[in-house]
Amino acid sequence: MDEQKPEETEEISEIEEEAEEVEESKEKQEVEKLDEVIEEELEQKPPEQTPKEMLEAKSIIEAALFMSTAPMTVRTLSKISGMNSWKLVQNKLKELQQEYGQRGSAIVISFEDGGYIMRLKPEYERKVSDLAKEAELSRGAIKTLAVIAKNDGMAQSKLAKMIGSSVYDHVKELVEEDFITAEKKGRTKVLKTTKKFKEYFTV
């Protein structure tokens, strides 16, 4: 077996060192890139939305909480609403919590299991359960009824923007069960709760 000359050994060592340096450089770049991604994810960027877009985003957050059956994280609500700052999303959530509290609403927005969820106050849960059992309302219809009750006299078109096209089936179901009325007004309908509804929900 031929012995390597000192010059060859030194050259091989230099090549190995250079290769190690290249590998270390690559690893360093990967770590830096990952750090940038994490930093960008956590960084609260300044808002770019207009006041109108901010108001729309707040409504989307409210609608998302209304439709969800499980707690929603700030990150998820940020993606859904289009808001580019988690801090702004949290601010909007606080505003909604205060608004619901000031109105004396039957609904509360609470923080549970790492996310936010919309729930009925305990004193209303039993009444809603009785209502669902007796009227055999679908879960979607009950949620729609809660929104109508909170905004008594609201336009069906506005409700459809908040919930989606399924609202028309819910409204039909609620009218048939005599919990709401739907009076024609222009191209839409005005939705109001009935005496039957008030009897069920008087605490």
Express as a percent the part of the chain with pLDDT over 90.
14
Encoded amino acid at 194, one letter: T
Q: What is the pLDDT of residues 85-104, one digit of tens each?
A: 888 888 999 999 998 888 88
Q: What is the helix (H) or strand (E) element at residue 130, kind and residue range?
A: helix 122-135
Cα–Cα distance between 154 and 81 in angstroms, integer?
23
Position 172 scores a pLDDT of: 92
Report the candidate in 154, 55, 47 with the shortest Cα–Cα distance to residue 96: 55
Cβ neighbour number for residue 63 with a 10 Å cutoff: 17
**88 burial level (CB within 10 Å; 0-12, 13-18, 19+):** buried
Cα–Cα distance between 103 and 105 in angstroms, integer?
5
**pLDDT band for position 22 (50/70/90)?**
low
Q: Which domains, from first to last, does the chain contain?
A: 51-120 (1.10.10.10), 122-201 (1.10.10.10)
Q: What is the pLDDT of residues 46-83, one digit of tens each?
A: 456 677 777 888 888 988 888 777 788 998 898 888 88
Answer yes or no: is pLDDT of 39 > 70: no
66 vs 187, residue with greater confidence: 187
Position 137 scores a pLDDT of: 76
Answer yes or no: is pLDDT of 37 > 80: no
Answer yes or no: is pLDDT of 5 > 50: yes
Cα–Cα distance between 87 and 79 in angstroms, integer?
13
Position 9 scores a pLDDT of: 54
Position 38 scores a pLDDT of: 42
Global pTM reads 0.46
Please provide residue 189's backbone torsions phi and psi, each rounded to the nearest 5 degrees: -130, 150
Answer yes or no: is pLDDT of 158 > 50: yes
Q: What is the pLDDT of residues 115-133, one digit of tens each?
A: 898 887 777 766 666 655 5
134 vs 38, residue with greater confidence: 134
